[in-house]
């Protein structure tokens, strides 16, 4: 299947700093990518839809100034957690839908474990 | 609004047993339904995708079925192995232009040696 690569897999940062997470579609172009957050033992919560060449669409309750999304190319979307605080510690996962088979199959990155200390 | 439910929330079985995981959805207007596996601390791995027009898909020991009229999908795992232990998630992709997957809360499967 298609490959979505997410980097880094783990990051620890100090409170008040910013952290950037990258999501790449390795073997297909993705005009749309999705960013999720997952709390321990909970299902995925969609944060925002990343659109290549235009502004991201944020879900209700997600602070767009806190979670900056940039989708500058057809294979790369980035999520920047700005002025991180301990409550931002979580597991972040990105997803892209591969057009290759025409089935709109979604593929996910490996996830990023963010710990803010 | 589409809602996806997975039952049971957790399941523990002995190795070698055949098992069924259930997924139900409230709106039959779906584009496809996808089953994923998630290992602890990892991302999601796509297992099977069933298009709206299909009834089932098979991959190895896995078989997924779809009954849109009843709003149900099942994931059948044959001859379970300890390596099958993980959380299994189903997700429905609605028709109508929305590209947001709607996830169930998952079933945590433990296969005991």
HEC string for chain B: CCCEEEECCEEEEECCCCEEEEEEECCCCEEEEEEEEECCCCCEEEEEEEECCCCEEEECCEEEEEECCCCEEEEEECCCCHHHCEEEEEEEEECCCCCCCEECCCEEEEEEC
Q: pLDDT under 70 in chain A at which residues? A: 1
Instruction: Judge: B46–A105 Cβ closer than 8 Å, yes or no.
Output: yes
Contact A106 B41 (CB under 8 A): no
Verify whether the Cβ–Cβ distance A108 to B106 is below 8 Å.
Answer: no
Interface of B with A in 15-44 (CB under 8 A): 31-32, 34, 36, 41-44
pLDDT at B112: 97
Burial of B72 (0-12, 13-18, 19+ CB in 10 A): middle
Closest chain B CA to residue A103 = B51
- pLDDT by residue (tens digit) across B47-101? 999 999 999 999 999 999 999 999 999 999 999 999 999 999 999 999 865 678 9
pLDDT (0 to 100) of residue B97: 56
Does A66 touch chain B if contact means CB atoms closer than 8 Å?
A: no
Q: A1, A44, A59: which to substitute to probe chain B, counting the most B Cβ within 10 Å? A: A44
Burial of A52 (0-12, 13-18, 19+ CB in 10 A): middle
Q: Do B41 and A111 touch (CB under 8 A)?
A: yes
Check residues B30 and B98 and name the one with the higher pLDDT. B30
Contact B35, B47 (CB under 8 A): yes
Q: Vertex B60, ends B48 and B46: CA angle to 5°?
A: 25
Please judge whether A43 and B103 are an interchain contact, meaning their C-beta atoms are less than 8 angstroms apart. yes
Per-residue tokens: B48: 């099977």
Instruction: Provide the residue count of chain A.
Output: 117
Q: Which residues in B lie closer than 8 A to residue A1 (C-beta atoms)?
A: 46
């Amino acid at each position: 299947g298609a490959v979505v690569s997410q980097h880094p897999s783990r990051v620890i940062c100090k409170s008040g700093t910013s952290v950037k997470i990258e999501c790449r579609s390795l073997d297909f172009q993705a005009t749309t990518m999705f960013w999720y957050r997952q709390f321990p033992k909970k299902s995925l919560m969609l944060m925002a839809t990343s659109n290549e060449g235009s502004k991201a669409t944020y879900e209700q309750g997600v602070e767009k100034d806190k979670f900056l999304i940039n989708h500058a190319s057809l294979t790369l979307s980035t999520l920047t957690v700005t002025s991180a605080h301990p409550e931002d510690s979580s597991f972040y996962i990105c997803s892209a839908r591969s057009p290759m088979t025409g089935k709109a199959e979604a593929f996910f990155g490996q996830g990023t474990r963010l710990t803010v200390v | 609004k589409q809602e996806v439910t997975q039952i049971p929330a957790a399941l523990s079985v002995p190795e070698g047993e055949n098992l069924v995981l259930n997924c139900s959805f409230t709106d039959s207007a779906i584009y496809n339904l996808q089953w994923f596996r998630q290992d602890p601390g990892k991302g999601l791995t796509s297992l099977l995708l069933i298009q709206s027009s299909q009834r089932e898909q098979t991959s190895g020991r896995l078989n997924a079925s779809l009954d849109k009229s009843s709003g149900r999908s099942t994931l059948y795992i044959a001859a379970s192995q300890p390596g099958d232990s993980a959380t299994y998630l189903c997700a429905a992709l609605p028709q109508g232009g929305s590209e947001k997957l709607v996830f169930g809360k998952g079933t945590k499967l433990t296969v005991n040696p």
